[in-house]
Amino acid sequence: MRINNLDEIETNLEVSGTFVLPCAITLEDVSYDFKTNIEENLGNFNDFYLKNKNTLDILPFLWENIVSEVPMRVVKEGISVTKTCGDGWELVSE
């Protein structure tokens, strides 16, 4: 965290971790590692200081950036879709 020439609070964080997500095919747990760099401008230092009295709540923008790293779908390694038809259905590709 630093205060720039315009008296604005700037943060630059590197966040990493592991999501445990359900496999899109088997619903088994899949570990998914992530790493992201977060740069955020929190606004004018004087306004911020008067409101928050020396505390910095980074949870809102931290959570927002971590949630944006969650993939839409994960598939466990070694799993392949082999069934292309069943009782009353079939896989159609265009």
Instruction: Determine the length of the chain.
Output: 94
34 pLDDT band (50/70/90 cuts)?
Answer: very high
Average pLDDT score over residue span 76-87: 80
Average pLDDT score over residue span 66-71: 92
The beta-carbon contacts of 77-82 under 8 Å, at least 24 apart in sequence, are 79/23, 79/25, 79/26, 81/25
Q: Which domain holds residue 19?
A: 2-90
Decide if pLDDT at 19 tops 70.
Answer: yes
pLDDT attached to residue 20:
96
pLDDT attached to residue 50:
58
The total number of structural domains in the chain stands at 1
pLDDT > 70: percent of the chain:
80
Taking the model in full, what pTM does it have? Answer: 0.62
